[in-house]
Structure 1
Amino acid sequence: MDGFERRKQKKAAQIFNAAADLFFKFGYQKISVNDIAYQARVSAATIYNYFGTKEQLYTDTLFYWMDQQLHQYEQILNSELTFPEKTKEIMLLEAKNLRKLSDELPQLSSHELSGMMQKMESYTEQKIAHFFRKFVALGKQEGYINQAQAEAVTMRYFMMFQRELSSYWREANQEPAANQQIDQMLELFFYGLVGAKERS
């Protein structure tokens, strides 16, 4: 990559970071390209040159942000934490991110939302499914996920627990005291009502 491309990527990252901050804070409808240009310290013309329209900038910003979150999941999965600890960290981070998206996406028009959901489905198939396959493979390798369990069923089970954790974490106002019950829910996630000791 030459110097020009590096500078271009650096400037694009500045724009993405400013746009993500403003869009999530104030919503798509309330933020203008000029607002983003001011925060990113670039000209509005530069933004239009890079992205063409505000809608395209918004779409690209969301997927840039999602890539960053996925990178965090990868870091957690590759960390020295135990598999249950990794699962908890990933679930809670995913719950937080889904709440962010659920607050943001309703601000789009029905046409914009339809297009965005199609792109998100494609993103899920291409990137999130790939990550989840690595997650399941590691869980099976370490003996936390049944070798015979189908990947699709495991993913549905994970999402079911993740949604419940998200709901509980929100109701508990993310207080540290909630951690004990979340740990108990993770125990259920891995061992069911029977429990680890009885199964061993």
Structure 2
Amino acid sequence: MNGYERRKQKKIEQIYSVSFQLFSKHGFQKVSVNEIAQNAKVSPATIYNYFGTKEQLYVGMLMNWMDKQLEQYENILDSELSFPEKTKEIMLLEARNLKILSDEFPKFPSSELNRLVQTVESYNEQKVMQFFMKFVALGKQEGFIHKDQTDEMTILYFTMYKNELGRYWAASNEESVYRNMDQWMELFFYGLVSRNQEQEQGEINNSPTRE
């Protein structure tokens, strides 16, 4: 990347950062390109040259934000944490991000909403699904996910669980979610059967048959 490309990329990142702050605070309709340009310290013409329209800027900004969240997921998965701790951190981040997205979508023009939803769905299929396939493979490798369980069902289970966590987050407060997170993880990995009871049941099933 030459000097011009680096400067351009820096401007784009600055525009994305300012746009996210303004759109999140005031909503799509109440933020103008001129206001974004002023806060990003670029000209309005620069924004139009880079993105075309305010709607296209918004979509690009959202994809950029999602890329950064996915990078955090990857860093967690590649960390030295145990698999349950990785799952906990990823699930908390995903629940928080779902809340952000649910707050953002209503701010987008209804006439453009279908296109935005399609873009996000395509992103999920292309990038997020690849990450969760990696997540499932690691869980199976470390013995936390049954090897006979299909990837499709495992991802469905994770998705249902983090969606419910997201709804709980929206209905409660952040402190309550964190306080109860260990119980959420216990239920996620062991269901309503306690870990000790599951181990005891396994010992019974594996013990020699008495005559």
Give TM-score scaled by structure 2 length.
0.90
Offset at residue 178 of structure 1 (A): 4.4
Q: Which runs of 5+ in 1 are unaligned?
A: none
- Specify the code of the residue in structure 2 equivalent to 1:194: V
- Structure-1 residue corresponding to 2:147: 147
SS in 1 for 2:158: helix
CA contact (8 A) 2:84 2:185 kept: yes
Offset, 1:77: 0.9
| Aligned ranges 1:60-71 → 2 under 5 Å | 60-71=60-71
1:169 aligns with 2:166: no
Tell me if the contact between 2:22 and 2:36 (Cα under 8 Å) persists in the aligned partners: yes
Residue equivalent to 1:134:
134
CA contact (8 A) 2:96 2:169 kept: no
Q: 2:180 maps to what in 1?
A: 181
Q: Which runs of 5+ in 2 are unaligned?
A: 200-211
Note the aligned Cα RMSD (angstroms): 1.3
CA distance in 1, matches of 2:111, 2:172: 35
- Secondary structure of the structure 1 residue equivalent to 2:174: coil
Structure 2 distance, partners of 1:62, 1:114, is 15
**C-alpha displacement of 1:167:** 2.5
**How far off is 1:46 after superposition?**
0.7
TM-aligned CA deviation for residue 91 of structure 1: 0.9
**Is residue 86 of structure 2 the alignment partner of residue 90 of structure 1?**
no
Counterpart residue identity of residue 193, structure 1: L
Residue 73 (structure 2) pairs with residue 73 (structure 1): yes
**C-alpha displacement of 1:14:** 0.7
SS of corresponding position for 2:42: coil
Identity of aligned residues (%): 59
Structure 1 residue 171 displacement after superposition: 3.4
Q: State the partner residue of 1:158.
A: 158
| Most deviating of 189-198 and 114-123 | 189-198
Deviation at 1:99, TM superposition (A): 0.9
What is residue 192 of structure 1 aligned with on the other side?
191
1:106 maps to 2:106 = yes
List per-residue Cα deviations over 1:53-98 (Å, max 9, x = no partner). Answer: 1111011000001001111111111111111111111111111111
Instruction: Report if the CA contact (8 A) 1:33-1:44 is conserved.
Output: yes
* 8 Å Cα contact 2:16/2:64 also seen in 1: yes
Report the CA distance between 1:125 and its aligned residue. 0.7
- Contact 1:165–1:182, Cα closer than 8 Å, also in 2: no
In structure 2, what is the equivalent of residue 41 of structure 1?
41
Q: Give me the whole-angstrom Cα distance separating, in 2, the residues matched to 1:87 and 1:36.
A: 37
The TM-score normalised by the length of structure 1 is 0.94
Query: C-alpha displacement at 1:109, in angstroms?
Result: 2.9
In structure 2, what is the Cα distance between the partners aligned to 1:113 and 1:152? 28
